[in-house]
């Protein structure tokens, strides 16, 4: 059984329970992919898929938000696939997840998926992560571009019940946009011949597998 | 188990017939012939996963023109009962005989997320069959989480809530002879 991180959405916690039930190992937001840089080379936009299934080498992004936000996520996903063509990402829309919940008879959760109602995750299971994960997370963060990559994975893996709540995705997006505006001009860094930006721009953490 | 608020109406609750009885039977005959050719020199065991696969299994085994053995399994489903949202999937009914060294074909009604079948494949591989393949009547790839190699497939279907020919909603509708699309009002009012 995986130590439960602090999930951003109730649907994520439910998917984690489903994966645990069927014995599929998972990691929660273990990796952040920069997808937009400013002229100074600083990352101004990044994407952290919700789950990584190491045995299947598959990232899963759950989108249970309203349509306008889904469009933004679709754009980020397209960008991710352009920059990292070898990464396998499956986007699970709200209707997909709702159908899954209906299939499993989880009507309470299905009913909460019409908008942002599921956002407030009451008493989500939060267990201190194993020491090696904290160490790996810290090391990974230090090795990455500190100002450029959102701290989401580290916060997710190192949070405890006494720790401050991790900023919501909306807050992180707003912060990212502010950073972008501070640099006045943002533009994607041209791709090198080999594909995405060099690896040091990535934050890669040790996993919290089941 | 899903509780349905009222008694199901087999006619009124189905919005559309997605696959007719005739189409199912034609496909089953085709699959049976193909399996007969592919396993002509094999000791084939068909393993059906309860309960949804029962009609498909019953028709398929009679369409295979070679000797076969049949066995049944049942595994718990996430959310199947109020307690089935934690813990691990459980084998509710195991195989009744050994499959070691034999050719095994899992007969499934539908592959949706792939989670149950992924578990079953791992479980059955541990019993050392000579070969392990999958025959599914329906493939619904829209919600696939785990990619499963389907060796024999009947139909690929769109992302709709389907019932009939073994597929249920709240344990009902399994006895419909076709594959139909359930009206959303049925599951939305539950």
Q: How far apart are the first and last CA of chain A?
A: 5
Per-residue pLDDT at B114: 92
Per-residue pLDDT at A117: 38
Per-residue pLDDT at A168: 58
Per-residue pLDDT at B84: 59
Nearest CB neighbour to A107, from listed B119, B147, B190: B190
Judge contact between B25 and B102, C-beta under 8 A: no
Q: Spot the catalytic one: B13, B59, B103, B112.
A: B112
For residue B112, indicate whether it is catalytic: yes
Identify the architecture of domain B21-158 in CATH.
3-Layer(aba) Sandwich (3.40)
- pLDDT (mean) for B147-169: 94
Our CA-based measurement puts residue A49 at a distance from the nearest CA of chain B, in whole angstroms, of 14
Our CA-based measurement puts residue A100 at a distance from the nearest CA of chain B, in whole angstroms, of 8
Judge contact between A57 and A31, C-beta under 8 A: no
Residue A162, classified by CB atoms within 10 Å of its CB into exposed (0-12), middle (13-18) or buried (19+), is exposed
Residue of A nearest to B163 (CA): A103
Q: Tokens in use for B180?
A: 């139909």
CB contact under 8 A, A99 and B159: yes
Q: What is the pLDDT of residues A33-88, one digit of tens each?
A: 999 999 999 999 999 999 999 999 999 998 876 666 788 888 889 999 999 999 99
Nearest CB neighbour to B2, from listed A23, A60, A105: A105
Q: What is the pLDDT of residues B71-115, one digit of tens each?
A: 999 998 887 665 556 678 899 999 999 999 999 999 999 999 999
| Least confident range of A170-179, B53-62, B126-135, B149-158 | A170-179
Sequence spans of domains, chain B: 21-158
CB contact under 8 A, B78 and A22: yes
The residues of chain A scoring below 70 in pLDDT are 1-3, 65-68, 112-210
Cα–Cα distance measured from residue A86 to residue A143, given in angstroms and rounded to the nearest whole number: 23
**Residue percentage of chain B with pLDDT more than 90:** 74
Residue A146, classified by CB atoms within 10 Å of its CB into exposed (0-12), middle (13-18) or buried (19+), is exposed
Nearest CB neighbour to B87, from listed A21, A56, A90: A21
Sequence spans of domains, chain A: 10-204
Residue of B nearest to A20 (CA): B88
The pTM of the full predicted model, rounded to 2 decimals, is 0.71
Judge contact between A115 and A72, C-beta under 8 A: no
């Amino acid at each position: 059984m995986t130590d439960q991180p602090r999930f951003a959405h109730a649907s994520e916690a439910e998917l984690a329970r489903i994966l645990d039930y069927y014995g599929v190992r998972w990691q929660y937001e273990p990796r952040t992919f920069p997808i937009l840089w400013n002229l100074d080379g600083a990352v101004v936009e990044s994407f952290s898929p919700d789950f990584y299934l190491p045995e299947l080498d598959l990232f899963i992004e759950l989108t249970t938000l309203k349509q306008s936000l889904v469009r933004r996520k679709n754009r980020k996903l397209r960008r991710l696939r352009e920059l990292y063509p070898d990464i396998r990402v499956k986007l699970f829309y709200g209707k997909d997840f709702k159908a899954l919940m209906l299939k499993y008879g989880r009507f309470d959760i299905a009913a909460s998926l019409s908008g942002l109602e599921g956002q407030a995750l009451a008493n989500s299971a939060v267990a201190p992560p194993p020491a090696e994960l904290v160490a790996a997370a810290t090391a990974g963060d230090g090795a990455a571009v500190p100002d450029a990559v959102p701290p989401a994975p580290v916060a997710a893996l190192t949070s405890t019940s006494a720790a401050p709540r991790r900023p919501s995705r909306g807050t992180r997006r707003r912060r990212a946009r502010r950073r972008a505006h501070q640099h006045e001009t943002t533009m994607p860094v041209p791709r090198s011949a080999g594909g995405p930006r060099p690896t040091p721009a990535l934050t890669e953490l040790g996993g919290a597998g089941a | 188990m899903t509780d349905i608020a009222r008694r199901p109406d087999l006619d009124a609750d189905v919005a559309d017939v997605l696959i007719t009885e005739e189409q199912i039977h034609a496909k089953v005959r085709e699959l049976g012939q193909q399996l007969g050719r592919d396993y002509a020199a094999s000791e084939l065991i068909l393993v059906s996963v309860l309960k949804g696969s029962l009609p498909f299994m019953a028709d398929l085994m009679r369409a295979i023109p070679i000797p076969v053995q049949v066995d049944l399994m049942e595994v718990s489903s996430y959310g199947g009962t109020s307690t089935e949202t934690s813990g691990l999937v459980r084998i509710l009914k195991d195989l009744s005989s050994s499959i070691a060294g034999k050719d095994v074909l899992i007969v499934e009604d539908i592959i949706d997320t792939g989670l149950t079948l992924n578990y079953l494949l791992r479980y059955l591989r541990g019993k050392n069959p000579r070969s392990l393949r999958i025959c599914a009547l329906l493939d619904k790839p829209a919600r696939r989480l785990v990619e499963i190699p389907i060796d024999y497939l009947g139909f690929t279907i769109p992302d709709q809530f389907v019932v009939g020919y073994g597929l249920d909603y709240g344990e009902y509708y399994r006895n419909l002879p076709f594959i139909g699309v359930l009206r959303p009002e049925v599951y939305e009012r539950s």
